[in-house]
Structure 1
Amino acid sequence: MIWIQFAIMLAAILVGARMKGIGLGVMGMVALVIFIFFFRMRPAEPPIDVMLIILAVVSTAAALQAAGGMDYLVRLAEKILRSKPSLIVLLGPFVTYIFTLFAGTAHITYSLLPIIEEVSVQKRIRPERALSISVIAAHLGITASPISAATAAMISLSAGKIDLLHILKICIPATIIGILAGVAVCWKKGKDLEKDPAFLELMKDPEFAKELEVTKEYKPLLPGAKLSVLIFGLAVLLIVLVGAFPGLLPSFEPGNAGLTVDAKGHIKMAAVIELVMLAAAAGIMIFCKTSAASVAKASLFTAGGQAVISIFGVVWMSATFMLANDQAIELALGDMVRAAPWTFSIALFVLSMLLFSQAATTKALMPLGVALGIPPAYLVAMFPAVNGDFVLPGYPTLLTAINFDRTGSTHIGKYLINHSFMIPGLVAVAVSVMAGFFFAGIFW
């Protein structure tokens, strides 16, 4: 019976992935209806905390975008990228990584990808090299960000055994080393543009050649652009401080755990992120004179809304499957994982390939790791393994990078999985996990 249920779940994920947008969410609900009404499975709790975090963070990022703060950050990033164009394969991924680390979502990097492509082409560096690892770096930034939904889910699922500082101390250096490994494999990836027959053929078209040399002009920044970045940055800093010093928060009488307060009477980290980020959004709207309508129309707000629906359906579906079959799954994986805990990272990676979400994977599978008795330090070390969403090239950041590459060097292969992001992604994630175990041994 478990295999029939697994096949239904897998079919829902695959169909939803092809639908894109909110497809994963609605197809997850279809499978959940089958689980509940046909198989009589008890529904798990929906991922309310993860959804609320995404809504809060994305709403604040959208306020930043509407106030012009995103334009200001992009211009700062462009100065860095253009200062050393020959190092674009190194600078590109670290800029996208820092953006994601700062904002908690990889969707914030869309405006950086065309700049990375443009600098690469003008220096005649194959854009595939910089774009592929830049996208992977943005994804890894999610598992090192203090305000990402995945990080908050990781903390909330550990029953107080993992705090924010544990994740930051281990995952930031681990993912940086992983990115450097990805940069190394991309440094000479593919043919140089000057030797690429496909590019040389395109250059025979005068219009195409002229288009490559055009640098776009920017409109003047909005008056509140810099202030909005300051407000957003202070909000992130406050969250990090609260994570480092929980005593800054009030505590209450122990009792039943809820969405905001745990059984010990402490305010949950997820609630802190939601409170601080939405308060920051209010600050941006008030002091930067940004209208609520402009925030709702921002592209980041739309992307966040789609992510919430997707996670709602697919995590609720997978959590219900796990709840109904937890004993069988623990029996199948228990001995192997206890003997070699690192093998659990393979399960995390494979599930993230299907769910297209770090937060969804964390919420769905990390409780199993806790139930199997994997030490918290190892779970944090394996946290970067939830970045397998690049394997099937359907994630928006991958498709955006492919579309922005005017030379066509960044591509999806004939066999679907032999695409530009596969090798740098596998290397970066694998090295990040290995480095995570190393730093867990030092900092835990």
Structure 2
Amino acid sequence: MLLFTIEILIMILAIVLGLRTAGALGCGIFALVAQIVMIFGFGLPPGSAPVTAVLIILSIGIAGGTLQATGGIDYLVHLASKMIERFPKSIIFIAPMIVFVFVFGIGTTNIALSLEPIIAKTALKAGIQPKKALTASVLTANIALLCSPAASATAYMISEFAGLGISMGQYLSIVLPTALLSMLVLSCFNTFVGRTKIDEQHAQTMLQKMAVDQEETTKQYDTRVKLGVFAFIVAVGFILLFGIFPEVGPKFEVDGKVVELQMTDLVQLFMYMSAMINLLLVKVQPNQILTTHITQAAMGAIFAVLGPGWLGATIFSAPSNRAMMEDGIGGLIAQAPWLIIILVGLVAMIVISQSATASIMVPIVLSLGIPPMFFIAIVQTLNVNFVIPAQPTILFAVDVDETRSTKITSFLIPGFFLITTTVVIGLTIKMILGM
């Protein structure tokens, strides 16, 4: 038990030091060094590296980076901005909905970051506190991310659960309705709890101070850019189609047995297809793709999954550690399964990155014998990442609110309310579906 505790402490120390030193990249590198300590120092047999998840994240990063380099992301932000500005009085409901759709389709919260100034300005025009719309939108972006087949964290979990016979369709059948219903509940909460309206004269004063980007309202986008966006969305659509209806996917006969093309392979193929179409439509240099925020974030996510994921598999798959967890902690979790909710939330609070938290917690959950569908029902606890103010979407939301009503602490109460709501709704849907 002492050795196991020491191994866990080394793992936590490596991940925290890595995050503090160099973010997601440092998290992965430090965890890989801790892997050396486990193998050579503690004599643990190396676990399985999450190679499939790494390959999926790489394909998503290249596809998303290509879309960003060709101007597709800017075009999507332009479209989303127009939609938000059309319904100013309903901004607390409309902004999160639009953020959800775009994050779900693109697989990155960067689009929420770009929309925050529009959300704040539109709320002011409608005489509504920007804080209400901003907090709802930022928190919604996080829960939408774990529904998106084009997101790194989702890709990792789907690849891990695929080995247990759980399809993308089963994953989304719980996570997607949970997120949508929780988003609506959060918007209601932000509308009816606390003061929503702002003094009209004060709002006009604030609007005069805000810089308005006139170029964005008049900029024209090339048809080729629009076609590239369409290609990316179609690729995501095909991934969803084959994920939800695996029976329509390609099948092959190998040595007399019928073999299906794995969902993890389909994700990569369709992502690279969208990247190819964008490259054919719009001429960009390779370094433009590699230096985009989406590609760089994907590189960080690769290490955040590879390092902690491989290290976690090594520690928790070791025969001695597995037996200890099943006999000790496993029995406790079986009697009080809600403890895993607290554990995932605490890890997410410290690690912040959904991909890194998932790569740490999934091996633990599986080694404890917790049903994967239970974890999927509570998967939004990976988003308890608003306590430590390190997320760019949170920090930027505070900056763009000219009324200064949005503070770092403004996300705490709505955030915990949202996570609690997702857990309750997720477990209810799981029970209704009999999973």
Q: TM-score, normalised by structure 2?
A: 0.86
Cα distance change, pair 84–241 in 1 and its aligned pair in 2 (3 A): same
Q: Distance in 2 between matches of 1:355 and 1:16?
A: 10
CA shift in 2, pair 1:401/1:29, >3 Å = farther
**1:390: Cα distance to partner?**
2.4
Residues in 2 aligned to 1:29 and 1:373: alpha-carbon distance in whole angstroms: 26
Q: What is the distance in 2 between the residues matched to 1:362 and 1:266?
A: 27
Contact persistence 2:70–2:284 (CA under 8 A): yes
In 2, distance between residues paired with 1:402 and 1:143?
A: 24
**Residue 141, structure 1, aligned to residue 144, structure 2:** yes
Using the alignment, how far apart are the partners of 1:400 and 1:331 within structure 2? 46
User: Given that residues 63 and 274 in structure 2 are in contact (C-alpha distance below 8 angstroms), is that contact kept between their aligned partners in structure 1?
Assistant: yes
| Partner Cα distance (1:398, 1:249) in 2 | 43
Report the equivalent of 2:390.
Answer: 394
Aligned partner letter, 1:212? M
Asked whether 1:55 is paired with 2:51, we answer no
What's the offset of the Cα at 1:16? 2.9
Which range moved further: 171-180 or 26-35? Answer: 26-35
Write the deviation string for residues 211-237 of structure 1: whole angstroms up to 9, x where unpaired.
Answer: 326344223223422101110111011
List alignment gaps of at least 5 residues for structure 2. Answer: none
Residue in structure 1 matched with residue 8 of structure 2 by the alignment: 6
Once the two structures are TM-superposed, the CA of residue 38 in structure 1 deviates from its matched residue by: 3.1
Offset at 1:143? 2.0
Matched, 1:121 2:124: yes
Q: Distance in 2 between matches of 1:26 and 1:65?
A: 27
Query: What percentage of aligned pairs have identical amino acids?
Result: 31
What is the deviation of 1:291?
A: 4.1
Counterpart in 1 of 2:309?
315
Report which stretch shifted further, 212-221 or 44-53: 212-221
Conserved? CA contact 2:113–2:392, under 8 Å: no
Provide closer, same or farther for how the CA distance between residues 411 and 50 of structure 1 changes in structure 2, counting only shifts above 3 A: farther
1:380-400 Cα distance to aligned partner (Å, 9 max, x none) = 212222222223222333233
Could you say if the C-alpha distance between residues 237 and 130 of structure 1 is closer, same or farther in structure 2, counting changes exceeding 3 Å? same
1:278 deviates by 0.9
Give the structure 1 partner of residue 423 of structure 2.
433
8 A contact 2:312–2:363 mirrored in 1:
no
Change (3 A) 1:301 1:90: same
In the TM superposition, residue 191 of structure 1 has moved relative to its aligned partner by 5.8
CA distance in 1, matches of 2:395, 2:252: 45
Q: 1:111 and 1:246, CA in 2 relative to 1: closer, same or farther beyond 3 A?
A: same
* Other-structure match for 1:260: none
Match of 1:18 in 2: 20
C-alpha deviation, 1:192, in angstroms: 5.9
Q: Is the 8 A contact 1:284 1:290 kept in 2?
A: no
Does the 8 Å contact 2:175/2:376 carry over to 1?
Answer: yes
State which drifts further: 351-360 or 135-144: 351-360
Conserved? CA contact 1:178–1:430, under 8 Å: no
Is residue 2:161 matched to residue 1:161?
Answer: no
2:277: which partner in 1? 283
Cα contact 1:153–1:363 (8 A) shared by 2: yes
Q: Secondary structure at the match of 1:157?
A: helix
Taking structure 1 as the reference length, the TM-score comes to 0.85
1:402–1:289 Cα change, 3 Å: same
Query: Partners of 1:228 and 1:278 in 2: how far apart?
Result: 13
Query: Which among 85, 102, 105 is matched to residue 105 of structure 2?
Result: 102
SS at match of 1:162: coil
Residues 1:173 and 2:177 are matched in the alignment: yes
Q: Do residues 183 (structure 1) and 173 (structure 2) align?
A: no
* Count of residues paired in the alignment: 425
Is it true that 1:422 corresponds to 2:412 in the alignment?
yes
Q: Which amino acid aligns with 1:405?
A: D
Relative to 1, partners in 2 of residues 1:404 and 1:327: Cα closer, same or farther, differing over 3 Å?
farther
Query: 1:182 corresponds to which letter in structure 2?
Result: L
- CA distance in 2: counterparts of 1:33 and 1:404, whole angstroms: 44
**Counterpart pick for 1:75 among 70, 73, 78:** 78
* In the alignment, structure 1 residue 249 sits paired with structure 2 residue 239: no
RMSD: 3.0
Residue 220 (structure 2) aligns with = 220
How far, CA to CA, are the matches of 1:76 and 1:131 in structure 2?
18
Amino acid at match of 2:231: I
Structure 1 residues 124, 314: closer, same or farther in 2, change over 3 A? farther
- Which whole-Å CA distance do the structure 2 matches of 1:327 and 1:152 have between them? 29
Q: What is the rounded CA distance, in whole Å, between the counterparts of 1:79 and 1:391 in structure 2?
A: 32
Quote the Cα distance in structure 1 between the aligned partners of 2:351 and 2:51.
Answer: 17
Q: Tell me if structure 2 keeps the 8 A contact 1:67–1:222.
A: no
Question: Residues 27 and 369 of structure 1: is their aligned pair in 2 closer, same or farther, counting only changes over 3 Å?
Answer: closer
Answer yes or no: is the 8 Å Cα contact 1:20–1:394 preserved in 2: no
Report if aligned partners of 1:156, 1:268 keep a CA contact under 8 Å in 2. Answer: no
Give the letter aligned to residue 150 of structure 2.
I
The structure 2 residue matched to 1:380, chosen from 364, 376, 382, is 376
State the partner residue of 1:29: 32
Partners of 1:274 and 1:294 in 2: how far apart?
Answer: 21
1:411 corresponds to which of 391, 407, 410: 407
Which residue identity does 1:50 align to in structure 2?
Answer: A
- The residue that corresponds to 2:264 in the other structure is 270
1:102 CA displacement = 0.7
In terms of fraction of residues, the more helix-rich structure is 2
Q: Which residue of 1 aligns with 2:353?
A: 357
- In the TM superposition, what is the alpha-carbon distance from 1:254 to its structure 2 partner? 7.9
In structure 2, what is the Cα distance between the partners aligned to 1:403 and 1:213? 13
CA distance in 2 between partners of 1:81 and 1:378 (Å): 36
